[in-house]
Amino acid sequence: MSQLKRILVTGGAGFLGSHLCERLVADGHDVICADNFFTSQKSNVVHLLDHANFELIRHDITHPLWLEVDEVYNLACPAAPGHYQYNPIKTMKTSVMGSINLLGMAKRCRAKILQASTSEVYGDPEIHPQPESYRGSVNPIGLRACYDEGKRAAETLFMDYHRHNGVNVRVVRIFNTYGPRMHPFDGRVVSNFIRQAISGEDITVFGEGNQTRSFCYRDDLIEGMIRMMNGPDDFIGPVNIGNPGEFTILELAEKVIARTGSKSKIVHRALPADDPTQRQPDITLAKQRLGWEPKVKLDEGLDRTIEWFKTVSLSDFRAPTPNY
Ligand code: NAD
Ligand code: UDP
């Protein structure tokens, strides 16, 4: 076992956060999960509650938090377009005020702190694949800006707390990640297509489906994130963590239909505003500095995700809380 640490995971009840908590608890660390359950539910972490080294707090990171910890993973933020556009002002507050609160805490207790940033900082990219040095093409006043610009501002805050206050930070830029425990109604493409295919509904491809995404399986992502937290102090990022395997959305729809054996038909719906046309991570840096690269191919990851979707009861999930 690695050295025992007190670790805070914000957004720890979410899709990625709950798997991160699981991994850190299994490694023997003292784990505190803080979440306001905006886009998640307790069922994601209920199996951890019996562990003496796991603690769950209902907390909203836009408010200060006073804890003594050695490390913070900041994952708290709605991640699906439908979720983060539900209350865009709150989304921006979560990225900006949440980061300020947590960076202040990390400064006080000299904790190392990692920000879950996103490929959305590249916006609709003109450079392909995207290296970390690319500064992005984001519409600052569009519907996605609350998330994209919020995450960009969070990166700025992380770097300024590092330069100005000596806080030990890490920034990972996560590319589309999927797997079991995605919220079935989050509206993201993998969860939508699998849910639609299993229940025999039409598969909704937005636009022609020529836009691309590169999909990373959640276990690969969690491994990359943990390596970054534990990597050398002279490598604070930002670093891309994602799977370079790039597919059009139409290809994804066809794969999901084939792998579920579904009779669902593909239908086309309007393309949302500012939908990025292409996205693929350049992971040279992660390979060189972290010795990390993804292992799970899309077909295998989809099979595991489809299996999980077949076990859940859709009535156990609800859409984000109104008036949040
Ligand atoms: P998720 O929605 O399942 O998890 C986010 C969690 O944060 C949820 O449990 C939610 O309730 C919580 N949360 C939201 N606002 C909060 C607040 N103000 N205070 C406390 N908790 C709050 O999404 P996810 O896919 O697990 O994403 C986790 C993180 O990774 C997010 O920061 C997201 O931006 C980032 N990310 C994810 C992906 C991906 O493809 N999954 C890609 C890029 C970045
Ligand atoms: N998409 C789609 N049908 C859906 C949901 C999403 O065609 O039912 C498309 C969406 O327009 C985008 C891509 O799939 O081009 C990925 O969408 P998602 O919301 O998963 O993540 P994004 O990468 O856009 O944040």
Q: Comparing C-alpha atoms, which of 293, 279, 298 is closest to residue 131? A: 279
Q: Can you say whether residue 200 is alpha, beta or left, with left for phi > 0 and alpha for psi between -120 and 50 degrees?
A: left
Residue 127's CB is within 10 A of a number of other CB atoms, namely 14
Q: What is the pLDDT of residue 126?
A: 96
Q: Comparing C-alpha atoms, which of 251, 225, 257 is closest to residue 238? A: 225
CA separation for the pair 298, 301 (Å, rounded): 5
Phi, psi (deg, nearest 5) at residue 287? -65, -45
**Would you say the CB of residue 150 lies under 6 angstroms from ligand 1?**
no
Q: What is the pLDDT of residues 2-44, one digit of tens each?
A: 589 999 999 999 999 999 999 999 999 999 999 999 999 999 9
Pairing relation of β-strands 212-214 and 246-248? antiparallel
pLDDT > 90: percent of the chain: 95
Ligand nearest to the CA of 76: 1
pLDDT > 70: percent of the chain: 98
How far, in Å, is the centroid of ligand 1 from the Cα of 78? 5
Residue 110's CB is within 10 A of a number of other CB atoms, namely 11
The distance in angstroms from the start CA to the end CA of the chain is 40
- For the chain, list the domains and their CATH numbers: 6-178+217-241 (3.40.50.720)
Tell me the CB-side half-sphere exposure of residue 297, using CA atoms within 13 A: 3
Task: Tell the burial category of 259 from Cβ atoms under 10 Å away from its Cβ (0-12, 13-18, 19+).
Answer: middle
Which one from 86, 122, 147, 178 is the annotated catalytic residue?
Answer: 147
Q: For all residues of the chain together, what is the average pLDDT? A: 96
How far, in Å, is the centroid of ligand 1 from the Cα of 214? 19
**Would you say the CB of residue 272 lies under 6 angstroms from ligand 2?**
yes
Question: Any catalytic annotation for residue 147?
Answer: yes
DSSP H helices, the chain, are 15-26, 81-84, 88-108, 145-165, 189-198, 218-230, 249-260, 284-290, 298-311
Task: Tell the burial category of 130 from Cβ atoms under 10 Å away from its Cβ (0-12, 13-18, 19+).
Answer: buried
Which residue's alpha carbon is nearest to atom 16 within ligand 2? Answer: 189
Which string of b and e fits 198-234 if b means at least 16 CB within 10 Å?
beeeebbbeeebebbbbbbbbbbbbbbbbbbbebeee
Q: What is the pLDDT of residues 34-79, one digit of tens each?
A: 999 999 999 999 999 999 999 999 999 999 999 999 999 999 999 9
Confidence check: pLDDT of 318 > 90: no
Confidence check: pLDDT of 94 > 70: yes
CA distances from 103 to 95, 97, 98, 123 (A): 12, 10, 8, 25
Judge whether 146 and 118 are in contact, CB under 8 Å.
no
Q: What is the pLDDT of residue 164?
A: 98
Judge whether 253 and 193 are in contact, CB under 8 Å.
yes
Ligand nearest to the CA of 264: 2
How far, in Å, is the centroid of ligand 2 from the Cα of 119? 14
Residues 6+ apart with CB under 8 A from 141: none
Look up residue 94 and give its two tokens.
């979560």
Judge whether 35 and 76 are in contact, CB under 8 Å.
yes
